Structure 1
Amino acid sequence: MIYAVGIGPGDPDMLPHKTVLLLQKADVISGFETVLNLAEKHFNPNATRVSMGYKDQSEKLEQVGKYSREGKVCVVCFMGDVNFSGYEYLERIHNDCHEPAPTIIPGISSAQMAASRTLTAFETSVFLTFHKRGDISKDKEFLVSALKLGKAAIVIPLPWDFMPAEISRYLIEQGIPPKTKVNIFEHLTWPEEKSYSRTLDNCIEKFSDVSIMVISSINSSQQS
């Protein structure tokens, strides 16, 4: 049995109770090392830890699949929530672990935390992640269209090609008002969390690869 679990944005105390119970009894716990480090206080001390990086993730997930077929309870840890930006990694579980139906347990996404910090309602906004493989041109066009319709946007940037400064510059080029308000968060819920309030025309800093951006509705920006 393989479980795909979201371990949240970084604070280990924000894991769902069901996820904590699962981590405490799991035989095998796997994921990227930076992700595992965030939740390790909840790990079964006797569990086999399978840490991976981008270069060896297929090999390590094959190992997890082998453990699963031996009858062991295996957990693959995802940053945030699986359903927000984890489906490329989930596809690897299907292909490399040879597991067609892992059990998914949601977590809290940094997108939800950013929405809470900025009082941004999901029913009046869009969520978009550029942090994925392949062409993002259609996603960029969708972001512009949503903003022009008066929506707010919660955006996960693409390190290091389409970060907040590049996103802001692109939006201005596409006709979004330069004074549109944006909030950028780094390491949300971590002890080193930082937040920045900007407008598109002065969002020029280089932010970390653990950042998320909230773009206000152009209507609310014009009214304030």
Structure 2
Amino acid sequence: MIYAVGIGPGDPDMMPYKTVLLLKEADVISGFETVLRLADKHFNPNALQVSMGYKNQKEKLGEVGIYSREGKKCVVCFMGDVNFSGYEYLDRIHTDCQEPNPIIIPGISSAQMAASKTLTAFETSVFLTFHKRGDISEDKEFLVSALKQGKSAIVIPLPWDFMPAEISQFLLDRGIPHNTHVDVFEHLTWPEEKSYSGTLRECKEKFSDVSIMVISRKTSS
């Protein structure tokens, strides 16, 4: 059996209790190295760790699939919450692990944390991620349309091609008011967490690939 678990935004103490129990009981724990480091305080010390990077994820997930078919309890760790921006990786579990029905355990997404910090209600907002493979043109137009309808937007940028500064300039070019309020959070809940608050016109800073952006319905004076 393979469990696909969201480990949360970074702080290991914000991990769901169900996920903590699974990690303590797992025979095999897998995921990207940076993700595993954030969760390892909860690992079964006797579990086999299968760490991977982008270049060898097919091979490593194949190994996890073999362990699962041997009857081992396998846990694959996702950053944040699987359902917010993890479905491309989940598809790899289907194909590379040959597991059609992994059990998904949700986590706390950085999108939820950003919404909490900015008092942004999901019922009056849209969430979208540019952090995916393929063309993002339709997503860009969706963002413009949502903002023009008066909604807020919680946005995961695309490293390194469509980051907060590029998103801000794109929106300005498409007629979104320059004084639209923007918050950018970097490494949310990590010890090195940073934040920016200002307007679209002012948002020119460089941020890391672990950042999220909240574009508000309100404007700054």
Q: TM-score, normalised by structure 2?
A: 0.99
Matches within 5 A, 1:40-119: 40-119=40-119
Letter in 2 for 1:49: Q
Letter in 1 for 2:140: K
Matches within 5 A, 1:60-209: 60-209=60-209
Rounded to whole Å, the distance in 1 between the matches of 2:14 and 2:197 is 25
Letter in 1 for 2:22: L
Letter in 1 for 2:89: Y
Rounded to whole Å, the distance in 1 between the matches of 2:64 and 2:146 is 40
Percent pairwise identity: 81
Q: What value does the CA root-mean-square deviation take over the aligned residues?
A: 0.7
Rounded to whole Å, the distance in 1 between the matches of 2:167 and 2:214 is 11
Letter in 2 for 1:221: T
Which residue does 1:22 correspond to in 2?
22
Letter in 1 for 2:210: V
Rounded to whole Å, the distance in 1 between the matches of 2:120 and 2:27 is 39
Residue 213 of structure 1, CA deviation:
0.2
Point out where structure 1 has 5 or more consecutive residues left out of the alignment: none
Residue 145 of structure 1, CA deviation:
0.2
Letter in 2 for 1:202: E
1:17-66 alpha-carbon deviations (Å, 9 max, x no partner): 11000000000000000000000000000000000000000000000000
Q: TM-score, normalised by structure 1?
A: 0.98
Rounded to whole Å, the distance in 2 between the matches of 1:160 and 1:44 is 35
Residue 137 of structure 1, CA deviation:
0.1
Give SS of 1:201's match.
Answer: coil
Rounded to whole Å, the distance in 1 between the matches of 2:22 and 2:72 is 12
Rounded to whole Å, the distance in 2 between the matches of 1:188 and 1:88 is 22
Which residue does 2:219 correspond to in 1?
221
Rounded to whole Å, the distance in 1 between the matches of 2:159 and 2:198 is 20
Task: Say how many residue pairs are matched.
Answer: 221
Rounded to whole Å, the distance in 2 between the matches of 1:117 and 1:39 is 23
Give SS of 2:75's match.
Answer: strand
After superposing on structure 2, the runs of 4+ consecutive aligned residues of structure 1 that deviate more than 4 Å are none
Rounded to whole Å, the distance in 1 between the matches of 2:215 and 2:43 is 36
Give SS of 1:192's match.
Answer: coil
Give SS of 2:49's match.
Answer: strand
Residue 198 of structure 1, CA deviation:
1.5
Rounded to whole Å, the distance in 1 between the matches of 2:126 and 2:219 is 16
1:54-79 alpha-carbon deviations (Å, 9 max, x no partner): 00000000000000000000000000
Give SS of 1:216's match.
Answer: strand
